[in-house]
Structure 1
Amino acid sequence: MGKGKDARLSDVARAAGVSQGTVSNVFNRPQLVRAEVREQVRLAAERLGYGGPDPKGRLLRAGKVNAIGVATSEQLGYFFEDPFARTLMQGITEACDANGTGISLVSAIPDEALAWNMHNALVDGFILFCLVGADRLIAHSRERKLPFVALAFGETDESISIIGIDNVAGARLAAHHLVDLGHRRFAVLALEFESGRAGPAGLADVETAIYPAPRERLRGYFEVLTGAGIDVATVPIYNTLNDAETVAAGLEYIFSLEEKPTAILAQSDRIALEAMTWLRRHGYAVPGDVSVVGFDGVPEAALSEPPLTTISQPITELGRRAVNAILNPQAKPVQEYLEIELSVRGSTAAPRS
């Protein structure tokens, strides 16, 4: 008779003196079995080290596991630390709760584990958080032959489902706002162009950036600045890793230059909020000395001091629509680009004369 991992349902039935159907009901529909029989089966299973039927087998036989995978190239902690990711997950969880669907978080950290994690995830489809590392996430999703949808994906690929925003248009709104206020000296605190790289960047680096979101946002900024007669080659760009340490390093670099900016274009609200903290600590008034514009529209942006002017995207709605795309897959890829808007708050003003 098998024991531990080798024990089977039939072994428990034989040891308890009941049918296999009764044992199955004890584990799956206990309300159908008398209490004394449930206890008899429980004791037999305990003696044999049998923990119950493999849920994977039951779910796979049903053809659906009733769970959605959210895959990212970031560490799993990113979903809890980053304000954009937290807000996105709020929309995803709201939609999953409304549909009685579970969530499985899948990380590509370490890199070599991505294939294993995605190919073994018990899910009905994937939401790909594609701010970075989109190619690998998409490739593994295709191999699984499950529905998937890409979020925060900066390129247009008609062969896949995408739910996102127009990064170029959002960046234009941010730059237009500052130019219209009268600013002419700018700096950009950018998202990373390639994995793990932080530091000063030039126009050539923008063109070769691996990740599309920072490239597209810079394109939108520079279209407006060029139209205003500003030489974008003179605008300092600093790649951050979207964290306090590299934002601080970027500002140290920018404010060490001979010409100080009166306006900072930050490519995420997290970058912008960290920048305002650094500026305040170093004696720069926002917006008196330096105006700051973010990008995302996270809840924290409205609560900062001063409240952050930002490009607001419907983050929770992105999550809700992504869930709907997985639960109701279409025959052809669906591509939706949601509306964005400029939220003008207290972190921007006309430059001092």
Structure 2
Amino acid sequence: MTIQPRRPTIADVARAAGVSTSTASVVFSGKVNVAEATRRRVLDAAAELGYAGPDPRAASLRRGRSGIVGVVLSAHLRHAFLDPVTTAMMDGLTDALTDASAGLLLLRDDPQGDDPPPIAEAPVDAVVLIGCSARTRAAVETVRQRGLPVVVIEGAAGEGVPRVTLDNREASAAIARHLRDLGHERVAEITLPMEPARERGPVTPARLRAATVDVALDRLAGFREVFPDAPVVSAAGSLIDEGMIAARALLTDEAGKRLPDAERPTAIVAQSDLLAVGAMRAAEELGLRVPEDLSVVGFDGIAVDGLGDQRLTTIVQPAIEKGRAAGAQIARMLAGEPGESVHFTCRFREGTTMAPPAGR
């Protein structure tokens, strides 16, 4: 039987360097200045013994923390990370948590029968929710009873939970008014998924009553302030292919033929830039020119490839800043300070995909 050598400890390093254990610990923590000669002696002893530094698991046990922040996503990871907005928010979140030396555990808000959501029992120090379904909202109460900090990005998890919010409704209403002022009367919208099941198809009053995704609902509410009776189709995800499917449903009849000019929308508002690109591709398939025959507007302000000379008209949101704000509030709460809600606003970015309707 092979006996594994004992892992050297900080006490071994201290003895070899001829200093106290506390002095050796201070050298590795870097939190207190130590004489250069002493620091060098401790590091040389550590190198000779093969000591790489304190075991982070021991530090976690002393603090009573795991060093992990749970991030709950509302979509499959393969879909979530195809969305540039999600990846930008994750970049900002990671940046803000660097000083807290926290790792991220990605979890999905995925119903599995009657089982509790994964976040209810995850070994984490804090939780960031990207959106918040009714099901996850119930689980958050369990998390809060454990005394863990919780922050929600664009959603509501109940009283006292700090939120990172965006003026989705106001921005959507503003772009709808812009289209109306250009002379558009027949305008349609393609929404993000409106419920965890991510159903695709026309948004009926019954579906609207059952919808739970705040971002999609807020953007739709702003749009319908201006076009209350406009046709609306929901996509199953923020993907170019989904935008193509939804736009075909708005621009063609049941046989798949292009609707007559007098019947089809003259503009489509998409709740994401990827959906807007899909709508542009569907229009091109049908022989429609953008913006001469069909104006298309997006939401997000991401960099989109494959548009040629076109520049998408869109609403730009501060995705990285939203992630940073969530991480900053988590870091504050982990340090014992109260968390605060943070609100961001969007800005309009004019491109080449919006124009007055034909004949104006």
TM-score band w.r.t. shorter chain: 0.7 to 0.9
Tell me how many residue pairs correspond in the alignment.
321
- 2: CA distance between counterparts of 1:213 and 1:121? 28
Query: TM-score scaled to structure 2, two decimals?
Result: 0.76
Classify the secondary structure of the residue corresponding to 2:304: helix
Give the alignment of 1:231-242 within 5 angstroms.
232=229, 235-242=230-237
Change (3 A) 1:219 1:57: same
Percent of paired sites with the same residue: 28
2:245 to 249, 252, 259: 249
Structure 1 residue 54 displacement after superposition: 7.1
Change (3 A) 1:156 1:72: closer
Alignment correspondent of 1:266: 270
Question: Is the 1:127–1:322 contact (alpha carbons within 8 Å) kept by the matching residues of 2?
Answer: yes
Alignment correspondent of 1:220: 222
Letter in 2 for 1:22: D
User: Structure 1: 5+ residue runs without aligned partners?
Assistant: 43-51, 227-231
Change (3 A) 1:347 1:170: same
Letter in 2 for 1:286: V
Give the alignment of 1:278-293 within 5 angstroms.
278-293=282-297
- 1: CA distance between counterparts of 2:180 and 2:157? 29
Alignment correspondent of 1:150: 152
- 2: CA distance between counterparts of 1:276 and 1:139? 43
Question: Is the 2:130–2:152 contact (alpha carbons within 8 Å) kept by the matching residues of 1?
Answer: yes
Structure 1 residue 326 displacement after superposition: 0.7
Q: Does 1:189 find its partner at 2:190? A: yes
Alignment correspondent of 2:34: none
Alignment correspondent of 2:332: 328
Runs (4+) of structure 1 moved beyond 6 Å? 23-26, 301-304
Alignment correspondent of 2:344: 338
User: Structure 2: 5+ residue runs without aligned partners?
Assistant: 17-24, 29-41, 254-258
Question: Is the 1:72–1:129 contact (alpha carbons within 8 Å) kept by the matching residues of 2?
Answer: yes
Give the alignment of 1:117-132 within 5 angstroms.
119-122=121-124, 124-130=125-131
Classify the secondary structure of the residue corresponding to 1:253: helix
Query: What RMSD over aligned residues (CA atoms) do the two structures have, in Å?
Result: 3.6
- 1: CA distance between counterparts of 2:309 and 2:132? 27
Structure 1 residue 348 displacement after superposition: 0.6
- 1: CA distance between counterparts of 2:207 and 2:339? 32
What whole-Å deviation, never above 9, does each CA across 1:13-46 have from its counterpart, x for those lacking one? 5xx9x889439999x979464666549xx9xxxx
Q: Does 1:22 find its partner at 2:15? A: no
Letter in 1 for 2:103: I
Letter in 1 for 2:63: A
Question: Is the 1:158–1:333 contact (alpha carbons within 8 Å) kept by the matching residues of 2?
Answer: no
- 2: CA distance between counterparts of 1:116 and 1:335? 25
Classify the secondary structure of the residue corresponding to 2:105: strand
Alignment correspondent of 2:314: 310
Classify the secondary structure of the residue corresponding to 1:81: coil
Structure 1 residue 76 displacement after superposition: 2.5
Give the alignment of 1:1-80 within 5 angstroms.
13=6, 21-22=11-12, 31=43, 33=45, 37-38=49-50, 55-80=56-81
Alignment correspondent of 1:49: none
Classify the secondary structure of the residue corresponding to 2:81: helix
Classify the secondary structure of the residue corresponding to 1:188: strand
Change (3 A) 1:332 1:183: same
Give the alignment of 1:99-110 within 5 angstroms.
99=99, 101-108=101-108, 110=110
Classify the secondary structure of the residue corresponding to 1:77: helix
Alignment correspondent of 1:201: 203
